[in-house]
Structures are given as C-alpha cells and as structure tokens.
C-alpha cells in the first residue's frame, strides 16, 4: 500500500514538474523543475529495486549534465515577447506532433503489453541481491561488444570535441609553471649602486 | 504492518535522523570556535577568549547574533531562488550523512551480531555520497544567479568550475578503493580494512589518499582553493546574504568538511578500526571520530599555512596533475590484481579474491 502511494507521489510529481519545465516563464525555474523531475524519476527506479540506475541518474544527469545546461542558460538572454511572436505560426505543427504522440501513447497502453495480466507480479528482492554486481556481470559478459562500441563512440566524441575547440593562436598567453617555480632571486633582483 | 508499527518505525527513523543532524550542527558551531583558536595559536595570538570560560560560549553568541540580524533581500533579486539557494546547499550536505557508518555495536552484548551504526546501510553507499555531494553545486550556482549582482555571479561560476573539475579526480580516486574492496557498501569497505594499520588502504593507495583529501579541500572551497570567496570578489556568492541565510551557507560548508573528513577516514584510514588490533577495546566510534577530528584539524592547519592558489594553477592541479595521477593509479592497481606473480603482493589488501 505504501509502495503504491509512493509510486503515485513520484509519478505525479514527475508529470507535474515536467509540465513546469514547459510552462515556467523563467528559464532558470524550468531548469529547476527539470532537476526535480529527474529526482522523481530516480525515486521510481528505487521503487523498482534498481538502486544503481537511480543513483546513476542523479550522479550523471543532475550532478553533471544539468550543471552544464544551467551554465549555458544562465548566459542566455531570453526575451519572452520575442519568443511568443511566432506562436500561432508554429501551433499547427506542434499540435500535430502532440496529437500523434497522444495517439501512440493510447495505442501502446491499450495494446495489451501493459495489461495487468501481462505484468509479472515480482516480489521484491532481498538486501543481499547486489544491483551493481548484477548489472556489471551482464554488461561485461553478455553485452560486452555493445558496451565497448558505446565506449569507443564516446571516446571519439570526446576527442572530436577537443579537436574542434582547440585553436592555435599565436598571441595566446599562457603560464609556464615550471619556469615560474624555477625563478631565483638573482633572476629578478638587480643591485644598483646609487 | 499495522498503523501502530508504522508509527513506531517512523518515530525510530525520526530519532535516527535527529541523532545525526543535531551533533553535526553542534560540531559545526564548535569547529568554528576551534578554527579560530587554532589559527590564533598558529599565528601566535589568542583567538576568541572573551565569551564564557576560554571563549567556549563564543559559537552560541555568534549564532544568536546571526539569528537576530535582519535578512536583506536585494530588490532586483529573484526572491524564490534567492531564499531557496541556501537550503539547496544545506540539504545535500546533511542528507549525505545518511549512509555514513559511525561504527559497529552489539549494544553491550544484547544483539548477537554487531549492527552497523548508520541510518541506512545502503549497498551503493559510496555512489550515494558521490551523487549527493555533487548536488551542492546548485546552491552555489543559484545563489550567484539569484542575487542579480556582479561579484556573486563571478564567484559562483568560479566555484562551479572548481567543483566539477575536482569531482572527477575524486571519483577516479574512489574507483581504486572500489577495486580493492570489491564493494560500494561503506561498512564492507571498512570491514575489508580490518586487522591493523598495515591493512588500511592508505598503504597501497597513498597517492589516492592525498588526491582525495586535497580534492575534498577544493570541493568544499577551503583555503588554498577559496577563490570563490576572495577579497577581490567581496566574498563571492554570498555577498548579498546576511543573517541566518548566510549562516546556512557556512553550516553547509562546514558540514561538507566534516563529511569529507569522515569519508577519508572510512575509505583510507580504516574507519572504526584501531591501528593495532589490541586497541580495539576502545569503541570504534571513538576511533572514527578521532581520525575525522584529526583530518578536520588538518583542514584548519592548511588554512593557517598555505597562501591562496591562482585560478589557472588550481585548474592545472585538478586537470593536469590529479586526473592523470588517478587514472594511472587505476591502471597500476588493475595491473597488480590481474598479473600472475604481482597479484600475491596486492592479495594482502584485496577483499574479494
């Protein structure tokens, strides 16, 4: 019973905060709503006994990705009046996407995959079942190839980002640490006879 | 479960939370006192000694002063986030204590097996602490932005860059601990270090201990890395804060400092175990708190000793020295674990083979 209550709390909060992301006037408030939404999603993971995924969601998305988002958004100049200018122009397209998504959701939920009978009534696993160990075991044995490919793609993206942003500039100033440390008194101070 | 059982359980949880939150708040107050006394001692002066015997009531007087001060909210500030920011930095600092194991007790022989003294003996304790401590960025960032003022925003951006940079080195440093202990559960990590000072992880992972502690120092924004609150920024992101809201920020900062000290003692200094097994008759909690108290003293000692880092030097230390160092040590530990011949050396510390 308690679990159902928690499920509805997390689920409802994540839907509400998701709406908050879209509807908030202030972009900073939108970001905060999105963070709150992630927290609720990780709460849902916890209810499913997937603590590892729940924690990783907070660690990666809230702790790293959203900070960078916020950096960018803090620097943006948002003009609310300008944003609302093309509202009517984009309304048909946006409305169409919304309707299509709605139909897909309804079709999926009535297709029987999510029917009560199709759901396995799984009891909760005990504390001795270690989530991290299970995920690690299956990731490094059965799905090793996919995992390695994902790692290589990420590495390529990383190197690509570095290559794209590195610019050779002749007038760029930089400090040579070891030269700074090696400086002795004689290099800087000169005795002048008056 | 009947409603009465649930009510009793809720009451126990509330007591557990109170039993950790109240001492943390109290020790924060007295760490400020000891900080002033120790720095006074280092600089050959007295420190605070007027209020109460030897100045012991000074933290209470300070608290009262901060409590009675007027809270000023700037006119152009974003009120909601301005008020929310101190709470956003305090909450992560406090909830991270939920998984810290303070020792093991059988309650004077009443229980057959010793229980771990933690609110939650979570299987992913280490990841939880990492995830929660990365959240404190938001309080700082929000404070800077919501103040709608130049210096706070520069301070908060500096602070965020610093925290993100040093978090990476910190995380990689912890990977080596996971590799040796084979677990993310903090009490399991302590159990893996049982049996005297030679079994502590500070022996095989000494460079990681240094990296973790210095990164912790940068993460909290303590003195060699306190560029966020320098004089040229008029104390950075909390320029516009006064009274209780300012006190909330310092509570969060000192709470994080206590957490870093506890985590360093748990991960590298054997947690609640004594350096010599014969000394284990002294309760483990005393050992753990003693080690943490020493590390807090080291924090204060740093503050009294080192000049401030320049910004580019600080970034260089995080990215060009600590990061390769930690990655290299992960490689070395992995090599020792899986190379025949070398593995006999590391088996002494390895808990899972």
Q: Could you read off the pLDDT of B26-47 as tens digits, one per residue?
A: 888 889 888 989 999 998 888 8
Closest CB from B123, B142, B145 relative to A51: B123
State whether B97 and B26 are in the same domain: no
B141 contacts chain A (CB < 8 A): yes
State whether B48 and B169 are in the same domain: no
Q: Is residue B332 one of the residues assigned to a domain?
A: yes
Q: Is residue B59 one of the residues assigned to a domain?
A: yes
Task: Report how far residue B252's alpha carbon sits from residue A177's, in angstroms, rounded to the nearest whole number.
Answer: 34
State whether B136 and B25 are in the same domain: no
Q: Say if residues B257 and B222 touch (Cβ distance below 8 Å).
A: yes
State whether B148 and B291 are in the same domain: yes
Q: Is residue B352 one of the residues assigned to a domain?
A: no
Which residues touch B306 (CB under 8 Å, ≥6 apart)? Answer: B223, B224
For B199-213, b where at least 16 C-beta lie within 10 A, e where not — what string?
A: bbbbebbebbbebbb
State whether B53 and B113 are in the same domain: no
- Residue-by-residue pLDDT tens, chain A, 194 positions: 778 888 899 999 999 999 998 888 888 888 889 999 999 999 998 888 888 888 889 888 888 888 888 888 877 776 666 767 777 888 889 899 999 999 998 988 887 777 766 665 566 777 667 778 888 888 889 999 999 999 999 999 999 998 998 877 777 777 788 888 888 888 888 888 88
Q: Say if residues B103 and B146 touch (Cβ distance below 8 Å).
A: no
State whether B41 and B125 are in the same domain: no
Q: Test A51 with B124 for CB contact under 8 angstroms.
A: yes
Cα-Cα-Cα-Cα dihedral sign, residues B241, B245, B249, B251 = positive
State whether B221 and B298 are in the same domain: yes
pLDDT at B271 over 60: yes
Residue with tokens 């390895």: B350
Least Cα separation, residue B121 to chain A (angstroms): 10
pLDDT at B236 over 80: no
The mean pLDDT value for B114-139 works out to 84
Q: Say if residues B185 and B121 touch (Cβ distance below 8 Å).
A: yes
The residue out of B22, B42, B68 marking a domain boundary is: B68
> Confidence class of residue B111 from pLDDT cuts 50, 70 and 90?
confident
- In chain B, what is the straight-line distance between the N-terminal and C-terminal CA atoms, in Å? 41
The predicted-structure confidence for B68-90, as pLDDT tens digits, reads as follows 888 888 888 788 888 888 888 88
Domain extent for B95: 79-346
State whether B142 and B215 are in the same domain: yes
Least Cα separation, residue A9 to chain B (angstroms): 18
> Confidence class of residue B112 from pLDDT cuts 50, 70 and 90?
confident
Task: Report how far residue A23's alpha carbon sits from residue A83's, in angstroms, rounded to the nearest whole number.
Answer: 13
Least Cα separation, residue A146 to chain B (angstroms): 22
B130 contacts chain A (CB < 8 A): yes
Q: Test B138 with A35 for CB contact under 8 angstroms.
A: yes
Q: Average model confidence (pLDDT) for chain B? A: 85
Q: Test B145 with A52 for CB contact under 8 angstroms.
A: no
A52 contacts chain B (CB < 8 A): yes
The residue out of B68, B89, B110 marking a domain boundary is: B68
State whether B36 and B58 are in the same domain: yes
Total of domains in chain B:
2
- pLDDT for residue B331: 92
pLDDT at B10 over 60: yes
Measured between beta carbons, which residues in chain B are less than 8 angstroms from residue A32? Answer: 81, 142
Least Cα separation, residue A91 to chain B (angstroms): 31
State whether B84 and B228 are in the same domain: yes
State whether B52 and B84 are in the same domain: no
pLDDT at B92 over 60: yes
Task: Report how far residue B317's alpha carbon sits from residue B169's, in angstroms, rounded to the nearest whole number.
Answer: 10
A51 contacts chain B (CB < 8 A): yes
The predicted-structure confidence for B142-174, as pLDDT tens digits, reads as follows 888 888 888 888 888 888 888 888 888 888 988
């Amino acid at each position: 019973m308690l679990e159902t209550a928690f499920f509805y709390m997390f689920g409802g909060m994540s839907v509400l905060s998701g709406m908050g992301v879209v509807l908030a006037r202030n972009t900073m408030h939108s970001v905060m709503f999105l963070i709150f939404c992630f927290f609720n999603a990780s709460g849902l993971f916890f209810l499913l006994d997937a603590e590892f995924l729940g924690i990783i969601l907070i660690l990666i998305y809230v702790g790293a990705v959203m900070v960078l988002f916020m950096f960018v958004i803090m620097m943006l100049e948002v003009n609310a009046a300008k944003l609302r200018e093309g509202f009517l122009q984009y309304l048909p397209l946006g409305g169409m996407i919304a309707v299509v998504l709605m139909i897909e959701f309804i079709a999926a939920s009535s297709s029987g995959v999510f029917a009560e009978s199709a759901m396995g009534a799984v009891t909760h696993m005990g504390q001795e079942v270690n989530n991290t160990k299970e995920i690690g075991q299956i990731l490094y044995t059965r799905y090793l190839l996919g995992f390695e490919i994902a790692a290589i793609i990420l590495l390529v993206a990383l190197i690509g980002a570095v290559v794209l942003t590195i610019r050779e500039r002749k007038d760029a100033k930089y400090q040579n640490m070891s030269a700074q440390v090696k400086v002795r008194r004689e290099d800087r101070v000169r005795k002048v006879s008056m | 479960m009947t409603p009465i059982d649930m009510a009793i359980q809720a009451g126990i949880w509330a007591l557990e939370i109170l039993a950790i939150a109240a001492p943390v708040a109290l020790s924060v107050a007295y760490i400020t006192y000891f900080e002033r006394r120790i720095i006074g001692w280092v600089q050959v002066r007295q420190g605070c000694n007027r209020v109460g015997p030897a100045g012991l009531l000074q933290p209470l007087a300070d608290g009262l002063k901060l409590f009675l001060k007027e809270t000023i909210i700037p006119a152009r500030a974003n009120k909601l986030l301005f008020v929310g920011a101190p709470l956003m930095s305090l909450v992560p600092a406090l909830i991270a204590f939920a998984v810290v194991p303070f020792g093991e007790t059988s309650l004077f022989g009443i229980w057959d097996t010793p229980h771990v003294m933690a609110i939650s003996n979570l299987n992913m304790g280490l990841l939880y602490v990492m995830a929660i401590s990365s959240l404190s960025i938001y309080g700082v960032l929000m404070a800077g932005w919501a103040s709608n003022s130049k210096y706070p925003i520069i301070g908060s951006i500096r602070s965020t860059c610093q925290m993100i940079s040093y978090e990476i080195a910190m995380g990689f440093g912890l990977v080596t601990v996971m590799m040796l202990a084979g677990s993310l559960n903090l009490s399991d990590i302590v159990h893996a270090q049982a049996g005297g000072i030679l079994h502590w992880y500070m022996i095989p992972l000494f460079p990681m201990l240094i990296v973790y502690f210095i990164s912790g120092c940068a993460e909290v924004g303590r003195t060699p890395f306190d560029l966020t609150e320098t004089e040229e920024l008029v104390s950075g992101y909390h320029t516009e804060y006064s009274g209780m809201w300012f006190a909330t920020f310092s509570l969060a900062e000192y709470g994080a400092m206590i957490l870093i000290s506890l985590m360093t003692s748990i991960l590298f200094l054997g947690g609640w175990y004594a350096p010599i097994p014969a000394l284990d008759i002294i309760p483990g909690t005393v050992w753990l708190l003693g080690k943490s108290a020493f590390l807090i003293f080291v924090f204060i000692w740093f503050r009294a000793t080192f000049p401030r880092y320049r910004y580019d030097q600080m970034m260089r230390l995080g990215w060009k020295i600590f990061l390769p160092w930690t990655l290299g040590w992960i490689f070395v530990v992995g090599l020792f674990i899986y190379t025949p011949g070398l593995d006999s050396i590391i088996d002494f510390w390895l808990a899972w083979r």
